[in-house]
Every structure is written in structure tokens, then in C-alpha cells.
Structure 1
Amino acid sequence: MIAVSLLALMLTPAAAAPAVHEALERAVAAELGRAKRELKDEGYPSVYHAALNIWDFDDWDLWGAMGAPRAEATMRQRILLADLRVGGPELDNHPVTPKTEYLGTPVSLESDEFALRHALWRVLDGSYKTASAEYLRKQAQVVTRGKAEYDTDDLAPEPPHERRASRPASSWDLDRLRRLEDAISAPFARAPWLLHADSHVGLRRLWTRRRDTDGSAVDKAEDWARVDVEAAALSPDGLRQTVYSEFQVREPGDLPTEREVGAAAEGMLKDLGEMLVAVTTSPFSAPALVDPSVSAALVFALGQRLSGEEQRNPAGAQTFRGRLSEKILPEELTLVDDPTQVSFRGRPLFGRYDYDHQGVPARRTVLVERGVLKGFLLSRYPVKGFARSNGHGRSGVGQMVVGTPGNLFLSTARPRSAADLLSGLRAECLRTGKPYGLWVRKLRAYVQQQSGSAQGSIRFLAQIFLVDAESGATLRVRDLDLVGTPLVMAGSILEAGDDAEVNEVYQGSAMAVVTPSLLLSDAELQRSETKPEKAPILQPPPR
């Protein structure tokens, strides 16, 4: 009965919704006002800016295994996070190293104004005490060490923005999502030789409110649906081979058809069968051609390093700090982030939005122009030389806002056809004396490290083909991953293709990366991190 009632709430707005909305608005206005006017302890700084992000979300998930449903769950929750500043815009308590942990607090979903105000009172009180301690620590560091040469103000000015709205009713059809889960999982029921085949379809309906003491009030919906499946089998030498596929959309009309997800699952089985009989070889380095799915991961990693917070983070890599107006990519390449663009070649863009999570309007931002670094992804935490946000302050539910990509576009002034890129790969191999080039396709996952003074490497888990430099013949190999640091790999780009594709990313916020294939002068293969395992003792049960 609980699941049924929650499901009904997801599909039909509750009759009490207006009352809940009004009670929450009154509670937020009252407690934010009290915090700004009165929240001060003797001997400690005053509040000069206070903001609240409030997320209402409804989650529905369905999981399957080997073609059959295995679990279904629904959840509703309201989370709030305070951003309370003491001191002044030139120096406040904003952490010099962004906090990545979950910081949100669950509060009442109901129209009980007292319960809401009580929760806000406690959250703001705790935020003030933490903010005061952090501000005094920063102030002491400035006195003893001075400001770093890259430091500037801690809060960029921004006029108040207002876009109040009522939460729209759901237009998602859960029965259709169930049919998609059935369609993507069905082919695996006919493959008992698999170790596992786990499918999932999920829906998150997210309603976000931003309120602050400067007068900003921005409401927005951020729905997101996902269909994904992973399957694995053991190769003859006991190494686990894995394939993965996913579809992510923001609107019901963008969902794939049952036929499309079924075809993707059939393709995964075919791919897995080929992996089991593929040959292995020793790791080596060679010129490489990476397809748009792989280049998207590389470009996304570059985008993360172009966050404004990263330029001022003493514990981060600060890859591009101090390199403004320097060449960081080949001259023919331009990198832009544009959250306001809604589609690319007819395909809706996953990272589109109108306002960021600080209530700032989204803006198109040129990051790299013809190879030269021009800008950063900025929240209201400014970077030297950039005094204002460009509408890229985003966060996951209950997390700190940082400069984050929306829709990243890598374009080239000299696009090359797929045939030209393959010819270029072979020519580069012959020029450098390499018998084979690498053709890296269909990324299924990547792992990146970004901490400390190291630049951080990326491990790309994808299909690897060897391309014979003389004949052009291709040979698939397994148990090898492409590995490299984003800056070095970006610096090795020789050519870019005319085959730009959209790839979706969800890491707390929805993002899209639009990139073409890239020809690299050098790339390194390393052994995969998969360890041998013993095969099941018995044969699988008959289907």
C-alpha cells in the first residue's frame, strides 16, 4: 500500500500542494530574514548573505536480472542546504577547497509551517557556527601567510533574479518505462552463459527552489530518466568481460523506443561474444584514433579542470591556473559551454538549463578559442580577471555549488572524414615507426583521478582495435585500457573529425558533451585492472 500511495503522489500532484508551497515560502522568508538581521554571536562576524537551495524529489526505480524484474522502489524527499556567508564579499567563509561530501538536511514534506521553520532554524544556526569558525581560520591565514597571488573576492556581485513557478504535473508514463526495462533486458534471458545481466530503469522528478537575502527567487524543474544495462561473462583465461549501455533523457518525448533499446541489448551480446574470443597483447604506446564516445570523456575531464573553483583550489591540480591567453589546444579547436542550446542536429541536449543553482541566468561561455584559453566555468566564487558569474554554478542534491559544465562543445575549423582519419592514423604510425595504431571505440566507462598536485590520469574502458599501419587491417584485442592525463592527451591531438556526436553525463547534474573523433599522435595502453577468477563449477541451468 505504501508503494502504491507514493506512486500516486508521483503521478498526480497532491491536493495539499499549494498549502505546502505557501507554508514553505513563509517559513523560508521568516528564517532567512531572521538569519540576516539577528543571527550573530558576541565577538563573531555578522551574516551578510544567506541563501537556501531546496530540492523536492520523487524517485522511482525498477531493477531486473537476466530478463526478469527483481525490485521496484519509490521515494519522496525534501532536502535543503544553506549557503550562509559572514565577513564580506572580499573575504568570507567560502572554503578554499570545495567540499565534495553530501551536506544536505532532510526536512518535512508537509505543510506544517512550524516544523519547517524549526528545521530551518536549526540548519541556519549550525551553518552560522560553521561559517564563523571557517571565516576566522581564513582570516588568520591571510594575516600569517598573506593572500595567494591567484586569490580575489569570495562572492561575485549579482543582481537578484526572480522566476517563481508552480511545480508542473508529471507527464511521465511509468508503464512505458516498465516496457523499456522489459525490452532492454529480454535478450539476456536467452543467454544463460552470462555471469550476470543487470538492467535498470529510473526516473527522478526534481523541483529546485533558490532563495536568498538579496531577493533572488528561482524555481525550476529538472526531471531525468535513465535506462541502463550491464552484462558480463568470463573469457577462457578467467578474466571478466563487461559490456554496458545506457539512455538518459530529460523529457518523456525523448525516450528511446522499445525497438531501439532491444537492438542495443542485442548489440551488447554480439559485442560480448566478440570480446570472449578476442586476442590479448602486451601494453604499448602508439598513435590512436578515438571515437566521439571516448573523446567526450577526455573533453569532459578538461571541462572539469576549467571550473573556477579549481583555479583557486590549493589542494587541486590547478591545471590551467595562470595560463589564460596561452595555447592549450591545437589552433583549429574551439571549446564552448552553452547551457542555453537545447538541441544538436535534432537531438535534445541533456545539459540544457535556464538558471544555475545560484539563481544566475545560464550564459554561453567560450573556454578555448582557436586553441587559446579564454575563460572558465564560473559560479559566484570569482576568479582573478573574471569578476562575475557566467551562470555555471551547479550542484547535486545536497552538495556545494561549483562551476560545472552544461553543454560542452568541441569543434574544429578543419573537420576530417572517418576515412581521412584512419588514413592519417596509418600515416602517423609509418612516420613514427609503429607497426600498429590504436582505434578506441564505444566507451563503456572511465575512471579519473584529480587530486593533489598531480594532474590526474584517466583510464578509458572501451573497445580496442589494432590497425595495421601497412595494410589497414584491424584486429580486436581485450584486457587493455587506454590511459593518459587530459592535458597531455589534449596536446597530442593532430586532427578532428566531422562526426560530432552527443554524449550524456550525469554527475549530480545533467550534462552533455558534443565532440568529434580525434586523432592523437601518441596514446598508451595498460593492462586492465580485472583480475582472473574461477569459473562457476556447474554449467548454467537450462533456459
Structure 2
Amino acid sequence: MLHRSRRLLSSVVLASTTFFALPLLAAPGSQPDSPLLNAMSTELHRAVTSLGAPSAGKADDDSQPAPYFVSYDAHDLSTVSITAQQGALLGDDAANNRVVDVVIRVGSPALDNTHGQHRASAITTVPLPLADDQEALARSLWYATNAGYGKALQTYLQVKTETGVRADEEDKSPDFSKDTAQTALQAPAPSLSVNRAAWGERLRALSAVFREYPHVYTNFVMMTAQSETGYFVSSEGAKVVTPHQLARVVVFASTRADDGMDLFRAQTFEARTAAELPSQKEMEAAMHKLGASLEDLRKAPVTQPYDGPALLSGRAAAVFFHEVLGHRLEGQRQRGDQEGQTFTKDIGKAILPPFLSVADDPTMATFDGTYLSGYYSYDDEGQRAERVALIQDGVLKTFLMSRLPIASFASSNGHGRAQIGLMPTGRQGNLIVSSTKTVPDKELRQMLIDEAKKQNKPYGLYFDDISSGFAVTNRAAPQAFQVIPLVVYRVYTDGRPDELVRGVSIVGTPQAALTRIVATGNHPEIFNGECGAESGSIPVSAIAPAMLVSEIETQRQEQGTARPPILPPPTAVSTAAPEVHE
């Protein structure tokens, strides 16, 4: 709802591809003493041994049971964010933040305060002092723990009442899994180093490129860089320190057609650090492509509803799989009265053609030289990240699991993820689609034309770029998806040149769409981005080759009624972009 394989992709797909996994542990002796980690460990021990214990002179009180699980998940984060628009800076900010999620579970793993719709009752989030003042840190943790314990107690009483009057649930799995507590003290993330003045000039130059395209009415270019160290301790004995770095340039530009349809293009560049982002020349070339594409799009004809063969580029296929399949393989979607449970009963059954396999491997840091947003070494519940083979040769094998068990899957596989302040759930990291039925792009295009002729269609559709989409997984609504393409062409069977069209929206149901994949290309492509769901916005990646689908359904997007600007843009004093020295 648009957030690394050891040996995942077939030899055919990996023929010209390399990947790199970052080391999980720092060298012995490289972990400096951490006042924050010490304060967390000390206060956690005090909380566990004190909460629920009888007060002096009082007998044990069953109305205040001791928590059976407590964890502290702190984030020490430095960020830089610079934004430009129309060739000028909009913002240049740097910040340091510390925050902690305190999770408290009361009851037992079989039934606790997080049951059903009450998962949020376990978490309390507070800011922490930036200074390494152990007493100040301890008092902040103490206050959050007390608040969290009171909330957990109240909700646990409510849960016990509800379970006594409700009908039996379909899935009677426990509320918390029994997993091995991890210990991994990695070196903290390095200090954030960004030449803000130089990057300000680079972003000004990038946004100024759009001045050359008179119908690109709005644009912004944003660079964000972050250096984060996560600290996780739990009453089970877990102690995990994990570094994370990410730098990203996000570009957005939009126009409006004469008939009122709003159109946009977007592009993202990812790297571990700002210094590793692509060159200015490469990014400026991408800006020109986006600007020219928008000028072409606003003049393109509006598509009509379509049902027929289609070809998705690798990037488009990656987004398609993330939305249509990936969300439905997240563990928590297999239990609960509200979930559609599309594939819950399909373990051991074929849900894809036999030449396709799908895995999620967050331990892969790069793919073919490109940094992957979905990389992490430990998840947000302190569990080691794992490569998970979800589908092998078309057959469903398992789901993406947090520490929320489901029938037949009682343990986490390192995919418990969440935005700060929200409870982790099973989420995608790096979703990777591999194929044993690959053909070159030219041959795949001819297969599209042949399939369109076979179906007596005048053309097939080629989806070059896709923005985002959403997948409905709640059983109260149809189990459908919608994906929004940005660049779509009609590929005619009579040899006419391809025709750019606009206003296309891909719709359908997953079980029908996924079984109609006929063949794939031999060159995987990457989608990096952010994914939003009930546990918040997290970085994710998806990798897939181009895919030929025998049948796909599209509908028209919302039209819009506003006119393009009546007043023409001001006469440019100079259309030249600012000079940049890298």
C-alpha cells in the first residue's frame, strides 16, 4: 500500500546481477559504552522486578498482575532534509531526535492486552533526552513505563470481558510467539555527514530544469539523509544495537491537461549515504526525461476501459507484485474476523504459474549495485531478519511473520516492522520475484503483439512506469486491488508506432491476475519506496523482471474539472540552471 537473497534468483536471472549483504556484527571490542543502552537495561530490570509486586504490608493483588513481557525500542536519529522548487530553496533543516517505544504485555502469551483490535494498547511512545544523562534517560523511561503499564492493565480487563461473551474465533493462536531472544551489539551508525550548501545548489539546479518545460506547473526536489542507531532490550534478555543509514532524492513534477486531468511523474534515487547518490549529470538527465514526458502526456489521448493482454516493465511488475501479492502474504492478514484471508488456506497449493518464485530477503543490502530501501539486519521486535521463501515454483509455502502467531505458523521470521510509535506487524522488506521462463525484451514484446492478435484486439498495453496503488484485504470489501500507472502505451498489432495514452488505472482481483502471467523478461528491475499500512510507513523494495499477462483489466482514472492555469507563467529572466560543482 504504497517501505537480499543468499541464493534466491534463478541462474538465468542472476547471470549479470550482483548483490551484497552487509555484515551483521561489528568487530569484537568496537562497541563503545552507551549511556542510553545502560539506562534502558537498568530501568527495564527495575520495572520487571517491581511492577505487579505486592506493596509493603499488602497481600498480592490480582487486579495488578505483573507484565509478562516488557521491551524498550529506542531510536537515536540524525536527519538532514533539503527541498527546492522552481529553481530555489524551500527548506534546509537538520535535526537530532531520540524517541523510545515502550511495549508492555499483561496476561500471558495465550491471551494478553493486545488481543484482537487492541494491539495498540501495548505501546507507549515518548521522546528521550538528547544528552547522555543516564538519570534523565532513566526518569523518561520510568514515566513511559508507568503510563504504559496502566494502559495495558485496563485493556487486559476489557479483553477478558470480551472473550467471555464473544463466539469462538476461527484462529485461536496465541497473542505472542515464543522466540529466541537475540543479542547483537553492532557499532552505532556513523555521524551524519552532508555538505548542505553543496546539496542546496544541486537541488536548485535540478528543480530549475523544469523551467524549460512550460506546462510543468509544479515541481519539488527533496534530498533526505539519515543516520540512525536502534537500541532494543526486552525482559526476555534481548539486547540488540543496529545502525541504519539512508539517503534519498525524491523528485515530483506535475501538469494538467486541457480537459482537466491532473498528471504527474515521480522518481527516487537511493543510496546508503548522500555521497553515494548518483551524479548531478545523471539526475539532471532524469529531470529532462520527466519534464518531456509530462509535456507528452498532457497531449496524449485518454484511454478507454480495456480487457486484454498487457506487458509490464520490470519496475511496473515489481510494484504490481508488492501491491497485489505481497500485502496478502503478511502474517496478520491470515487471522481476525475482519481480514479477507485471500491465501490463508492455500499453503501447499499453486497460486502462481510454476515458473515463478517469490521470496522476501531484507538481509540483501544492494542489488546489481543499487541500494535497497528494504534492507535491515534485525526487525522492530529485535528478531534477526531472515530470507523467507514465500512461493517456490508457484506453490505457496509460508507467510511474512512478526511475533503475532497464526494457525500453523507459531514463530517470527524476522519481518515484524513498524513506524516509530506503532506496533510491529508482518511486513515486506525486499520482495524478489524470480522466473525460470525468461525471454529477451524484444521477444517479449512480440509475444504481446501475438497475444493481442490471438484475442482479436487491435493493440496490447505496455506499462512502462507505475506510481503506487492499494490493495483491499478487509473482508468487508471486495478483495480487489487498484494500481496507478504513470506511463502507458498502446502497442498496435498492425505495425503502427506505439501510442502514449493517459488516464489508465489497473484493477482486478489477485487470484485472477496472478495466474495469467505468461512469460517474463530476463532483466530484473528495482522499485524503492515507502509503503504505508496499519503499522505505519516503512521503506521497502521490490525486484521483478518484465511480465507478459494474457489478460488485464483497466478503467479510466478520475477526470478532474479544473482548467489549466489561465494566466501564463512569468517570462523567464533566464532558463539556465544554476551552475553546480560536485
Could you tell me whether the CA contact under 8 Å between 1:394 and 1:401 is conserved in 2?
yes
Partner in structure 1 of residue 92 of structure 2:
72
Q: Post-superposition shift, 1:100? A: 8.0
C-alpha offsets along residues 268-293 of structure 1, whole Å, 9 cap, x if unaligned?
11111211221223222221111122
Partner in structure 2 of residue 156 of structure 1:
177
Q: Please state if 1:459 is matched with 2:483.
A: yes
Could you tell me whether the CA contact under 8 Å between 1:171 and 1:252 is conserved in 2?
no
Partner in structure 2 of residue 57 of structure 1:
77
TM-score w.r.t. the length of structure 1 is 0.90
Q: Aligned match of 1:231 in 253, 264, 279?
A: 253
Q: Please state if 1:485 is matched with 2:505.
A: no
Q: Structure 2 CA distance, aligned partners of 1:180 and 1:448? A: 37
TM-score w.r.t. the length of structure 2 is 0.84
The secondary structure found in structure 1 opposite 2:68 is strand
Q: Structure 1 CA distance, aligned partners of 2:320 and 2:266? A: 19
Partner in structure 1 of residue 447 of structure 2:
424
Partner in structure 2 of residue 443 of structure 1:
466
Q: Please state if 1:369 is matched with 2:381.
A: no
Q: Post-superposition shift, 1:387? A: 2.3
C-alpha offsets along residues 415-468 of structure 1, whole Å, 9 cap, x if unaligned?
122122222222222222222211111223334444343324223232111122
C-alpha offsets along residues 20-56 of structure 1, whole Å, 9 cap, x if unaligned?
x41x334322332232222126424321111111112
Could you tell me whether the CA contact under 8 Å between 1:288 and 1:521 is conserved in 2?
yes
Q: Post-superposition shift, 1:191? A: 3.3
The secondary structure found in structure 2 opposite 1:519 is strand
Q: Structure 2 CA distance, aligned partners of 1:54 and 1:36? A: 18
Instruction: Answer with 168-177 or 233-242: which moved more.
Output: 168-177
Q: Structure 2 CA distance, aligned partners of 1:387 and 1:450? A: 22
- Where do 1:173-322 residues align within 5 Å? 173-175=194-196, 177-252=199-274, 254-301=276-323, 302-322=325-345
Instruction: Answer with 264-273 or 440-449: which moved more.
Output: 440-449
Decide whether aligned partners of structure 1 residues 192 and 27 sit closer, same or farther in structure 2, where only a CA change above 3 A counts. Answer: same
Partner in structure 1 of residue 541 of structure 2:
512
Q: Post-superposition shift, 1:412? A: 0.9
Q: Post-superposition shift, 1:372? A: 0.9
Partner in structure 2 of residue 496 of structure 1:
520
Could you tell me whether the CA contact under 8 Å between 2:459 and 2:492 is conserved in 1?
yes
Q: Structure 2 CA distance, aligned partners of 1:397 and 1:472? A: 52
Decide whether aligned partners of structure 1 residues 95 and 259 sit closer, same or farther in structure 2, where only a CA change above 3 A counts. Answer: farther
The secondary structure found in structure 2 opposite 1:30 is helix
Decide whether aligned partners of structure 1 residues 207 and 430 sit closer, same or farther in structure 2, where only a CA change above 3 A counts. Answer: same
How many aligned positions are there?
525
Partner in structure 1 of residue 129 of structure 2:
108
Could you tell me whether the CA contact under 8 Å between 1:462 and 1:481 is conserved in 2?
no
Q: Aligned match of 1:471 in 482, 495, 503?
A: 495
Q: Please state if 1:409 is matched with 2:432.
A: yes
Q: Structure 1 CA distance, aligned partners of 2:228 and 2:118? A: 24
Decide whether aligned partners of structure 1 residues 433 and 151 sit closer, same or farther in structure 2, where only a CA change above 3 A counts. Answer: farther
Q: Structure 2 CA distance, aligned partners of 1:199 and 1:98? A: 39
Code of the residue aligned with 1:221 in structure 2: it is P
Partner in structure 2 of residue 7 of structure 1:
none
Structure 1 alignment gaps of length 5 or more: 1-16
Code of the residue aligned with 1:152 in structure 2: it is S
Code of the residue aligned with 1:168 in structure 2: it is A
Decide whether aligned partners of structure 1 residues 311 and 268 sit closer, same or farther in structure 2, where only a CA change above 3 A counts. Answer: same
Q: Structure 2 CA distance, aligned partners of 1:278 and 1:381? A: 48
The secondary structure found in structure 2 opposite 1:411 is strand
Decide whether aligned partners of structure 1 residues 30 and 297 sit closer, same or farther in structure 2, where only a CA change above 3 A counts. Answer: same
C-alpha offsets along residues 379-406 of structure 1, whole Å, 9 cap, x if unaligned?
1222222222111112222221111122
Q: Please state if 1:139 is matched with 2:191.
A: no
Q: Aligned match of 2:569 in 537, 540, 543?
A: 540
Q: Please state if 1:357 is matched with 2:380.
A: yes
Could you tell me whether the CA contact under 8 Å between 1:180 and 1:261 is conserved in 2?
no
Could you tell me whether the CA contact under 8 Å between 2:118 and 2:155 is conserved in 1?
no
Partner in structure 2 of residue 96 of structure 1:
116
Partner in structure 1 of residue 410 of structure 2:
387
Code of the residue aligned with 1:225 in structure 2: it is A
Q: Post-superposition shift, 1:314? A: 2.6
Partner in structure 2 of residue 5 of structure 1:
none
The secondary structure found in structure 2 opposite 1:384 is coil
Q: Aligned match of 1:39 in 40, 51, 56?
A: 51
Could you tell me whether the CA contact under 8 Å between 1:444 and 1:461 is conserved in 2?
yes
Code of the residue aligned with 2:564 in structure 1: it is A
Partner in structure 2 of residue 8 of structure 1:
none
Considering only aligned residues, what root-mean-square deviation do their CA atoms show, in Å?
Answer: 2.4
Partner in structure 1 of residue 13 of structure 2:
none
Q: Structure 1 CA distance, aligned partners of 2:246 and 2:427? A: 18
Instruction: Answer with 408-417 or 341-350: which moved more.
Output: 341-350
Partner in structure 1 of residue 580 of structure 2:
none
> Which structure carries more relative contact order (alpha carbon 8 Å, separation 6+)?
2
Q: Please state if 1:27 is matched with 2:21.
A: no
C-alpha offsets along residues 58-114 of structure 1, whole Å, 9 cap, x if unaligned?
221111111111222222211111121111222222242486899632222223334
Q: Structure 2 CA distance, aligned partners of 1:236 and 1:457? A: 29
Partner in structure 2 of residue 3 of structure 1:
none
Decide whether aligned partners of structure 1 residues 312 and 254 sit closer, same or farther in structure 2, where only a CA change above 3 A counts. Answer: farther
Structure 2 alignment gaps of length 5 or more: 1-30, 53-60, 532-536, 573-582
C-alpha offsets along residues 352-394 of structure 1, whole Å, 9 cap, x if unaligned?
2221122211111110111111011111222222222111112
Q: Post-superposition shift, 1:407? A: 1.4
Decide whether aligned partners of structure 1 residues 26 and 502 sit closer, same or farther in structure 2, where only a CA change above 3 A counts. Answer: same
Q: Structure 2 CA distance, aligned partners of 1:44 and 1:521? A: 61
Code of the residue aligned with 1:393 in structure 2: it is G
Q: Structure 2 CA distance, aligned partners of 1:49 and 1:530? A: 52
Q: Post-superposition shift, 1:146? A: 5.4
Code of the residue aligned with 2:554 in structure 1: it is L
Decide whether aligned partners of structure 1 residues 348 and 61 sit closer, same or farther in structure 2, where only a CA change above 3 A counts. Answer: closer
Q: Structure 2 CA distance, aligned partners of 1:98 and 1:249? A: 37
Decide whether aligned partners of structure 1 residues 537 and 149 sit closer, same or farther in structure 2, where only a CA change above 3 A counts. Answer: closer
Q: Structure 1 CA distance, aligned partners of 2:250 and 2:79? A: 16
Q: Post-superposition shift, 1:483? A: 2.4
